[in-house]
Structure 1
Amino acid sequence: MSVRRRILGVAAGAFGVAAAGTAVGVARQRRVIARRGAGETFEFGSLRSKPRTVVADDGVPLHVEVDEHDDSGTAPRRGEPAQAPLTVVFCHGYALNLDCWHFQRAAYRGLVRTVFYDQRSHGRSGRSTLGHATIDQLAHDLKRIIDEVVPEGPIVLVGHSMGGMTIIAFAEHYPELFGDRIVGAGLISTTAGGLDPHRILFPMIPVPLGGELTHRVVATLARGHRAVDGLRRIGKAVATVVTDGFAFGDDVPASYVDFVDGMLSATPFEVVAEFFPSFRSLDKFHAVDVLGEIPTTIICGTADRLTSVGHSRKLQSLIDGASLLECEGAGHMVILERHDQVNAALDQLIAAAAATVELP
C-alpha cells in the first residue's frame, strides 16, 4: 500500500464515512446517522438472517449469518465491472455469541455487508474437538469463514475481547492478507497477551481466586461441569450482580445486564474451562505490527475490569497509525454500554478502509 493511499485513507476516517467518497457516500452517511440507536427498537437477540454453516478444518460446524448490503441505486455504470462490496466481519468474545453485536448489527443492517458468526463451542456453533479450543484455532476458523462467505472483495475485521484476540492470531498466521484482502481492523476491549486469567473467569464463577489457584480450580471444576452449571443457575441472583459489576462501568438498563448474563449462563462451564488455558498463555504482541499496514481502530472502556485500558494503550503503541478511543467510565461490554460511540468510531474505520481500496 502506497504512503499516499495510507495517508488519504486515514484522513477519510477522520472526517467519517461521508469523506470516503463513492464507497459509502454522503447520502448513505445520512442513513448511517439516522440508524444510530436503531438497536433500541429491536428486542435483544431478535436480529436474524438465514443461517449458513461453515465447517471448520477439524469438522466443527460454525453458525454464520450474513446481512447483505442493500445496493439499490448503486449499480455500476454500463460497461463498468461490478465490484465485490466491502464486508465487515464481526468476531465475538468469550462466553458470548453473535447476538452481542446487537447495536452494531442494527446500525449497519442494509448499509454495509456484514458477517456475524458464533465462535466454536459458543452459541449455535458445534462443540470444539478435544484440544482445539484455542485462540490459534479460532484464527483458522475465521480464515475458513472468509474463504467460504467472503471469497472476494475487501474486508474489515472487528473483534471484541476474545474476538479481538482471534484477529491478532489471524494476523500472525495470515499476514499476507493484510493490505490486500483485509483493509481495516477494529480491536475492542482486547489484548495480545499479559492477561490476568482469574479476572476473565470471575463473571462465570464469582469467587476471588489467585492466578495458579484459579488454573487448578478450573481444571477440577471442569470434571464436574454439570454440577457447576446447576449451581450457576441456582445462584442466578448473585451471578447477575457480578455480571453487572464486571461487564459494565456505569449504570445501564437492567435489560443490558440480563442480556449479557443470559449469554454467559448459556455457555456451559465445560466450554469455559476448555478455553481458559489459552488466555493464560496468550502472548502475540510480536504479531500486531502487520496491523499498521491498514487503518486500525482500538476501543476500550476506561473502567474495563477484564481487559483493562492499559492493554489497548499498549496495542496502540505497537501498531503504527492506530487510533484509540477510550470510552470514559465504560466497562468490558462497551459495545453495548457505549454503542453510539463505538458505532461512530466504526463509521470512521469503515470510511478509512473504503478509501484505501477506492484510490487508484
Structure 2
Amino acid sequence: MSRRIVTRDGTGLYVRESGPEAAPVTVLLAHGWTLDERCWAPVADTIAAGVQSGPPTRVVRYDHRGHGRSDDTPDERKTLERLADDMAEVIEQVIPAGPVVIAGHSMGGMTAMSLAQRHPELVAERVAGVALVATASGGLGGAATLGMSGRPAELFLAGKEKVTVSPLWTDRRALSSHPALLRAGVRPLLLGRQPDREAVRLTCDAIAGCRPTTISGFTPTLTAHERDAALAAFAELPVEVLVGSRDRLTPPRYSRRIRDGLPRSGLTVFPDAGHMLPVERVAGVAARIGALVRGTVRADRAA
C-alpha cells in the first residue's frame, strides 16, 4: 500500500507500507542519497513476510524529499536537519503508536543520527532499535568527490561547479532516461565483487531517476555531517552497524568510528560487498534488522 503525506512545510512525501498493520513492531526504512525507497524493497519484502523477523512485521519505507516520488524542495531545505524533521513526521503520521525499529542506509543512517539530535524525546519514547547500514557519523569532507581522490577528484570538483549551474543540469527531471548507461560508472563505485543482476538494476534505476539538483543540493549537508555526539541517544538501545568490506563511499573505518561511539553495538562487515548492502546482501541485512525486531518483541513481553 502506498500513500502521500504532507509535512509541515508543505512537502509531499511518498510512503509505502507492507506487512500487517497490527504487528507489534514497525520497521522504518530510510534510503540513501540519490536513491529511493525501491532500494529497500528486497529487504522490506523479506521482513514483512516474517522470513527473518519471526512473525510478519509491518514495514514502512519512504522517499526523502527531493528523491523518488516525493516532492522536490529548494536547495536551502536540502539538509539532514530537514530530513530528520521529515522522519519525525513520518513516524507521527504513519506510525502513531508502538515501538519502531529504524534502519537507515547511507544518508538514511545520517538522518537517523540527526533525528536523535533534533528529536531526542521521540527517539527515547518510540525507537526500540537502530540499524546503521553503510553510513558514517562524520568525517565525510570528501563525500563531494564520490569516492574519488587525487587528480580525478580535483577535475570532478572543478567541473561540478560549472555543470551544476547549467540549465542542462537544473532543468532536468532525471539524471538519465537510460539506466543501463550508468552501469559502467555505478558498478565499481557502489557495488562490491560480482553483484547479482537485480542489485545492479535496482541501483542504476534509482540513480538514473534522481533529479540532478538533488545530487548537488544535498552535497553540502553531507560534507558538513558531524554527529558523533548524537550517537549518545542510541547508547541504551540495541544497535546493529553494517558495512561492506568493499564500500568505497563509507568504508569500514566509518563503521568502526560509529562502533567506538556505541561500544555495545553489533558490527557486521560483509565480505566483498560494496555500499549497496540493502540490495547486495538482502538476507544478511534483513537478518540483523529481524534480530532487532525479535528483541523488541521479547522486551515488550517481559515488561
How does the TM-score come out when normalised to structure 1?
Answer: 0.76
Task: State the match for 1:65 in structure 2.
Answer: 16
Task: State the match for 1:222 in structure 2.
Answer: 164
Q: Which moved more, 1:331-340 or 1:193-202?
A: 193-202
Q: Is residue 2:69 matched to residue 1:121?
A: no
Separation in 1, partners of 2:262, 2:196: 35
Q: Is residue 2:158 matched to residue 1:209?
A: no
2:193–2:272: 8 Å Cα contact kept in structure 1? yes
Task: State the match for 1:300 in structure 2.
Answer: 243
Q: Is residue 2:77 matched to residue 1:132?
A: yes
Matches within 5 A, 1:96-115: 96-110=35-49, 111-115=56-60
**Distance 1:227-1:275 versus aligned 2 partners, 3 A rule:** closer
Task: State the match for 1:153 in structure 2.
Answer: 98
Report the residue type matching 2:32 in the other structure: G
Task: State the match for 2:275 in structure 1.
Answer: 332
Where 2:152 maps in the other structure, the secondary structure is: coil
Task: State the match for 2:207 in structure 1.
Answer: 264
Where 2:77 maps in the other structure, the secondary structure is: coil
Task: State the match for 1:143 in structure 2.
Answer: 88
Matches within 5 A, 1:303-322: 303-322=246-265
Separation in 1, partners of 2:215, 2:174: 15
Question: What is the aligned counterpart of 1:274 among 201, 204, 217?
Answer: 217
**Distance 1:214-1:291 versus aligned 2 partners, 3 A rule:** farther
2:176–2:209: 8 Å Cα contact kept in structure 1? no
Separation in 2, partners of 1:200, 1:268: 17
Offset of residue 52 of structure 1: 1.4
Report the residue type matching 1:114 in the other structure: V
Across the aligned residues of Structure 1 and Structure 2, the Cα RMSD in angstroms comes to 2.4
Where 1:298 maps in the other structure, the secondary structure is: strand
Separation in 2, partners of 1:282, 1:265: 25
Listed one character per residue, the Cα deviations across residues 137-181 of structure 1 (whole Å, up to 9, x for unaligned) are 000000011110111111100100000000000011112233421
Offset of residue 226 of structure 1: 2.5
Task: State the match for 2:146 in structure 1.
Answer: 200
2:145–2:156: 8 Å Cα contact kept in structure 1? no
2:191–2:276: 8 Å Cα contact kept in structure 1? yes
Report the residue type matching 2:122 in the other structure: L
Question: What is the aligned counterpart of 2:7 among 37, 53, 56?
Answer: 56
2:37–2:62: 8 Å Cα contact kept in structure 1? yes
Matches within 5 A, 1:40-55: 49=1, 51-55=2-6
**Distance 1:172-1:336 versus aligned 2 partners, 3 A rule:** same
Equivalenced residue count is 293
Offset of residue 215 of structure 1: 5.2
Separation in 1, partners of 2:93, 2:177: 41
Task: State the match for 1:176 in structure 2.
Answer: 121
Where 2:136 maps in the other structure, the secondary structure is: coil
1:90–1:158: 8 Å Cα contact kept in structure 2? yes
Offset of residue 129 of structure 1: 2.9
Where 1:131 maps in the other structure, the secondary structure is: helix
Structure 2: gaps (5+ residues)? 50-55
Report the residue type matching 1:336 in the other structure: V
1:179–1:294: 8 Å Cα contact kept in structure 2? no
Separation in 1, partners of 2:278, 2:167: 30
Offset of residue 232 of structure 1: 6.1
Separation in 2, partners of 1:310, 1:88: 27
Structure 1: gaps (5+ residues)? 1-48, 72-83
Offset of residue 271 of structure 1: 1.3
Where 1:329 maps in the other structure, the secondary structure is: coil
1:169–1:284: 8 Å Cα contact kept in structure 2? yes
Offset of residue 248 of structure 1: 1.2
Where 2:229 maps in the other structure, the secondary structure is: helix
Listed one character per residue, the Cα deviations across residues 222-267 of structure 1 (whole Å, up to 9, x for unaligned) are 2115258699649966631111101111112233213211111111
Task: State the match for 1:20 in structure 2.
Answer: none
Report the residue type matching 2:74 in the other structure: T
How does the TM-score come out when normalised to structure 2?
Answer: 0.89
Identity of aligned residues (%): 27
Where 1:158 maps in the other structure, the secondary structure is: strand
1:232–1:239: 8 Å Cα contact kept in structure 2? no
Q: Is residue 2:184 matched to residue 1:241?
A: yes
**Distance 1:359-1:216 versus aligned 2 partners, 3 A rule:** farther
